[in-house]
Structure 1
Amino acid sequence: MSDHDQLLVIVDPVARRSDGESVRIAKDVLSAGAEAKICLPDSPEEFTRALARRGSRRPVVLGDDRALLRTVALLHRERDLAAGALSLVPIGAPDALELAHALGVPRSTPAAARAVLDGAVRRLDLLVDDSDGVVLGDLQVPASPVLAAASATVWGTCRSLVRTLVRPAPTALAVRTHRLRVEADGVLLTDVDTPLESLTVRSVGGAAEVVVHPSAAPPRHMTARVLTVSGPDFRYRADGRVTGPVRRRTWTVLGEAWGLTLPRG
């Protein structure tokens, strides 16, 4: 049996607690098609130790986007991402699997497990920041206040109803702006004296697609390998997670930095 057929199957604790049946199905499919060592860590620390002791076995993660991000981040810190490929069987709530599905991982447990055995490795780009953090998908600066907006919806509706009783409702909502300096490959895209609504970034084809959204001008598009954002304290949203506040952060694109096993074709 080849090294390719020797798997280290790491079952994320959250997946085991939330959907034990899908975990069982995935384990059965993988064990039937390869020599699979099953690890059941109970904490992030045990997860890290299991991955570090993988030897020549190919790591397969049973879990959600957070488990995938943790695995990529750990291998990046070990400087071992380029040595092989990862596989993921997505198990979790739908909103915790958006990144996995966007990367091409099948939605059904049996299909994803079969792709681990019969699929092909696709090399993917990686955004790495100056604190050694990684971004697999989308980056937004500053972070949109999703949670705050959701929690304020009910109160906002109530206030709107009250206001309409005493005066006409406003025709539009004010857009929040930010004062940030944005540089792409050393080129200044916007500075702190220009109000900015947001900045979106995605790595494609070995470069970052950068879109700057000024508050009073059309969006600006640019591709770059290095992006630096600085200014007053800001937060950013990467792969659905909010980080910060920070005053300066630089991201660099690493082309084809990691491999993910996906269905052929």
Structure 2
Amino acid sequence: MAEVATAPTSDQLLVIIDPVARRTDGESVRIAKDVLSAGAAMKVCLPDGPEEFARALRRRGSRRPVVVGDDRALVRAVSLLHRQRELAACALSVVPVGGALSLARSLGVPTDAVAAARAVLDGAERRMDLLVDDSDGVVLGALRIPPVSAVPGQDPGEMAEAGRPWLRTCQSLVRTLVPARPSRPATAPEPGPSRLRVEVDGQTLVDLRQPVEAVSVTPGEKGVASVEVRPVSVGAEASPLLAEGRTVTVSGAHFRYRTDAAVSGPVRTRTWVVREDAWGLTVPAVS
């Protein structure tokens, strides 16, 4: 992950406080506001939802945006700036508040409200690589494709009923006419291996004939991504397949993938490209 530390470009702050942060930890929000207001001129924005969040970020003017929120709020801000094609020129800051903070921590931001707010005021901008997919989605940290299951997270019968409301009505009528039988404990479908083709810079790392347990892609060094594919082992544990490159394409049966704080898909194919030094985040200055 490439980085060049520079001083923040503006002393005028736009502090956008995510509604989830206000609900989950109002005390940390208050502390962050007090520390920031003591060290810089700032405007506070309290959006009620994603649309107001986006509007505030779009109308920031020359103010340096500071997001007070969890990993999802940070990803939302980066995604919006990327879609506005303003990410490269905008030094973003974050004060992590909420439940999911592992991404912010992995990027070098303190998860203590006081320390994070002080880093906003006295820290340095670190330039970092970004993974951008062919649907204009972004990945700040790691991309992972886990094992597949028959119907991830939902029972097949429930899906059928959701698509055919009349079926639910008929089933309800049958239940009133037929004596109930002892119910069997529900069992979730076991995750199974995926059959995917993984290509790195046009070269096939694994094809559809080799079932895999998992795939991970992370921004590496000097504008390349590190790719790891774990084949299904038979007997002795199989060694992971490793590669580095600027473009990663995964294709095959419908698959889901986890990026930062979200799960996306299912899709049949997706390509990610590394954008070197694509965005900047304020982190504590190295003394």
Q: What TM-score comes out, normalization by structure 1 length?
A: 0.86
Q: Which of 39, 51, 54 is the aligned partner of 2:60?
A: 54
Query: Aligned match of 2:71 in 65, 89, 93?
Result: 65
Alpha-carbon offset, residue 3 of structure 1: 6.0
Q: Take 1:143 and 1:4, find their aligned partners in 2: how far apart are those partners? A: 45
> How far 1:175 moved relative to its partner?
7.2
Counting only pairs closer than 5 Å after superposition, residues 215-226 of structure 1 correspond to structure 2 as: 215-216=232-233, 217-226=238-247
Answer yes or no: is the 8 Å Cα contact 1:143–1:235 preserved in 2. no
Q: Distance in 2 between matches of 1:52 and 1:84?
A: 11
Count of paired positions = 239
Q: Secondary structure at the match of 2:32?
A: helix
Q: CA RMSD in A?
A: 2.0
Give yes or no for contact 1:3–1:57 (8 Å, CA) kept in 2.
Answer: no
Q: Which has the higher helix share?
A: 1
Q: 1:248 aligns with which of 269, 272, 279?
A: 269
Tell me the secondary structure at the aligned position of residue 14 of structure 1.
helix
Runs (4 or more) in structure 1 with deviation over 3 Å come to 142-145
Corresponding position of 2:253? 232
Taking the aligned partners of 1:144 and 1:197, their CA distance within structure 2 comes to: 9
Q: Distance in 2 between matches of 1:85 and 1:228?
A: 30
Query: Structure 1: any 5+ residue segments left out of the alignment?
Result: 149-157, 160-173
What secondary structure, in the 3-state scheme, does the structure 2 residue paired with 1:76 have? helix
Distance 2:148 2:229 in 1: 14
Q: Which residue of 2 aligns with 1:13?
A: 19
Bigger radius of gyration, 1 or 2?
A: 2
1:203 corresponds, among 208, 216, 219, to: 219
What is aligned with 1:32?
38
Deviation by residue 1:205-250 (Cα, 9 ceiling, x = unmatched): 2110001111133211110100000111111111132100000000
Consecutive unaligned residues of structure 2, counting only runs of 5 or more, are 1-7, 154-185
CA distance 1:3–1:181, shift in 2 (3 Å): closer
Change in 2 beyond 3 A, CA 1:143/1:40? farther
2:275 matched to 1:259?
A: no
The answer to whether the 8 Å contact 2:71/2:261 transfers is no
